[in-house]
Amino acid sequence: MITKFKIFENINEKPKIGYYVLLDPKQFSYTGYEEYINNIGLITMIHGSGEIYKIEFENIYKQINVRITKIKYWSENKEELETLIQAKKYNI
């Protein structure tokens, strides 16, 4: 069994352009966003003072604007977020 540990040193760091993100399902109580919840998005633009992010998704041909409070995880590496999705899928 392979175990991966990741230590997050900069917990106050905000996501930047080019970072991969997973959205927080608890922040989307209304319908229409289900397709975005389990997909990894890529930050393509940051609006204003860094509170609103334009996110592009691979499997969905649409970009959305979200506040930082609606982003649950972000990372420079897509593989880290894929690991989180797999862990969530298999309840690990």
**What is the arithmetic mean of pLDDT over 58-62?**
82
**What is the arithmetic mean of pLDDT over 59-88?**
89
At residue 44, the pLDDT reads: 96
3-state SS assignment for residue 85: helix
At residue 10, the pLDDT reads: 47
Rounded alpha-carbon distances, angstroms, from residue 40 to 3, 27, 47, 58, 64: 22, 16, 20, 7, 13
Q: How many CB atoms lie within 10 A of CB 39?
A: 16
- Residue-wise pLDDT for 6-57, tens only, equals 544 445 688 999 999 999 888 877 777 778 888 899 999 999 888 899 999 9
**H helix or E strand, kind and range, residue 48:** none
At residue 4, the pLDDT reads: 56
**What is the arithmetic mean of pLDDT over 63-83?**
91
